[in-house]
């Protein structure tokens, strides 16, 4: 609902309350039980209109979506706040003929679960702008170190990880979306592929069993954390399709594919439907 629509409805609610008050004044002294019941019903109606009027007077509401993995939290948010776009796609029929169909796409990354990397806060805005609140550098370094420990343990499972990995004796169980982000940051793809195709494992195999610190140092250097300081993205004025820009930018941030951005703690995407 826009601000102008809210104003119109608030004015209408005030008008209704005034008319109801006038009706109640006329029924000030009910003579029969039926008249008393009618007055009571009108009074209840006034209370409901007044409650709705107070709700309309609140310009913003904070909504929190909580649910299990893959139940559609992000999809619901996209459709609720208008972060969707209609796209034409080519579809081939059983006969081989191609037809054009109109589909509605979510502008935030959605999937079968473990898709959204961090907290996403959607607020009304006048411009197509992304705000990013990154994790502190020390937390990012610690996360990358824990990723290195998990990889090292797969290469050298029999080694004393307490001695070889700086005191951490238990392997960290990373959520898949965080593993994906770290791998993209350090340019070591391979999650979900065969062991021999995992670039992180291949890199660890280049070091001896006592070479964890050298391995960790090289992985950290790949992240280039000094360059990851950008916290804002604004849609260019000459962008022909701002919604396509929103979708691509969110995907890049959510997957940690941008070399100028660290791991986000919170992403604030644009929403011009306030």
Give CA–CA dist 100/90, Å, rounded: 5
pLDDT of residue 235: 92
Q: Please list, in sequence order, all residues whose beta carbon lies within 8 angstroms of the beta carbon of residue 269, skipping any fewer than 6 positions away.
A: 83, 107, 108, 120, 122, 130, 246, 250
Q: 76 and 115, same structural domain?
A: yes
Domain assignment present for residue 61? The answer is no
Domain count within the chain: 2
Q: What is the pLDDT of residues 1-51, one digit of tens each?
A: 667 887 888 889 899 999 999 999 998 888 899 999 999 999 999 999 999
Mean of the pLDDT values across residues 243-256?
Answer: 90
Band the pLDDT of 217: cuts 50, 70, 90: very high
Q: What average pLDDT does the chain have?
A: 84
- Least confident range from 139-148, 171-180, 200-209: namely 171-180
Domain assignment present for residue 95? The answer is yes
Band the pLDDT of 78: cuts 50, 70, 90: confident
pTM: 0.66
- Least confident range from 115-119, 140-144, 254-258: namely 115-119
Domain assignment present for residue 40? The answer is yes
Q: What is the pLDDT of residues 126-175, one digit of tens each?
A: 788 999 999 999 999 999 999 999 999 999 987 654 444 444 444 456 78
- Residue 170: CB atoms within 10 A of its CB come to 10
Give the angle 95-100-103 at the CA atoms, nearest 5°: 120
pLDDT of residue 118: 87
pLDDT of residue 145: 95
Count how many Cα atoms sit within 13 Å of the Cα of residue 221 in the half-sphere of its side chain: 6
Q: 213 and 262, same structural domain?
A: yes
Band the pLDDT of 55: cuts 50, 70, 90: confident
Give CA–CA dist 83/90, Å, rounded: 22
More confidently predicted of 123 and 136: 136
Domain assignment present for residue 62? The answer is no
Give CA–CA dist 267/121, Å, rounded: 6
Domain assignment present for residue 63? The answer is no
Q: Domain of 14? A: 3-56
Q: 159 and 273, same structural domain?
A: yes
Domain assignment present for residue 252? The answer is yes
Q: 161 and 30, same structural domain?
A: no
Q: Does the pLDDT of residue 273 top 70, yes or no?
A: no
Nearest to 111 by CA among 70, 83, 77: 70
Mean of the pLDDT values across residues 118-127?
Answer: 81
């Amino acid at each position: 609902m826009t601000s102008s629509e809210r104003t119109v409805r608030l004015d209408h609610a005030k008008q209704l309350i005034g008319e109801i008050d006038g009706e109640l004044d006329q029924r000030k002294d009910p003579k029969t039980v039926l008249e008393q019941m009618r007055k009571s019903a009108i009074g209840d109606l006034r209370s409901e209109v007044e409650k709705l009027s107070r709700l309309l007077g609140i310009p913003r509401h904070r909504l929190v979506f909580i649910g299990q993995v893959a139940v559609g939290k992000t999809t619901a948010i996209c459709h609720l706040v208008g972060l969707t776009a209609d796209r034409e796609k080519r579809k081939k029929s059983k006969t081989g003929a191609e037809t054009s169909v109109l589909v509605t796409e979510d502008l935030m990354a959605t999937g079968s679960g473990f898709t959204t990397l961090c907290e996403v806060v959607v607020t009304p805005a006048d411009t197509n702008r992304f705000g990013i609140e990154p994790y502190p550098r020390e937390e990012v370094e610690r996360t990358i170190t824990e990723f290195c420990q998990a990889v090292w343990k797969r290469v050298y499972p029999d080694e004393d990880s307490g001695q070889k990995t700086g005191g951490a004796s238990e392997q960290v169980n990373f959520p898949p979306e965080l593993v994906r982000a770290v791998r993209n940051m350090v340019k070591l793809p391979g999650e979900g592929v065969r062991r021999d195709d995992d670039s992180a494992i291949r890199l660890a195999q280049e070091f001896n069993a006592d070479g964890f610190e050298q391995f960790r140092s090289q992985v950290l250097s790949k992240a280039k954390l000094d360059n990851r300081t950008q916290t804002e993205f604004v849609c260019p004025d000459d962008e022909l399709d701002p919604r396509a820009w929103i979708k691509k930018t969110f995907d890049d941030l959510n997957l940690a594919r941008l070399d100028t951005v660290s791991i986000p703690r919170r992403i604030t995407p644009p929403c011009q439907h306030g």
